[in-house]
Amino acid sequence: MPVQLLDVPDKIDKCDFLLKWKEAHGNGAIITKYTVYQRTVNENGEVQPWKGIHSSLDHEYQVLSLERGEVYEFKVTATNKIGE
């Protein structure tokens, strides 16, 4: 499911932001959790492995204390009784 950055200011003073996503379709089964994953991309384009940073039933997650100048990627997955 796509993640969007909303209301990004012209100048960013802090390295915190709020990820929000819409409720996923469970394909007939109830969603039991959402998992937020994060990875970084080095200056030479080398992509680091995905790391799970948060799991809950919420539809948002406050990302805190990112390092200025780093390139981050995020993804959100939904899990139900069938799997992730």
Kindly report, residue by residue over 7-63, the tens digit of the pLDDT.
666 666 667 778 888 888 777 899 999 999 999 998 888 999 999 999 999 999 988
pTM for the model = 0.79
| Residue 72, C-beta contacts closer than 8 angstroms, at least 6 positions apart | 38, 39, 40, 41, 66
Nearest to 37 by CA among 76, 84, 3: 76
**Residue 40 token pair:** 């970084």
Of 69, 72, 81, nearest to 27 by C-alpha is 81
Return the residue matching tokens 């969603």: 31
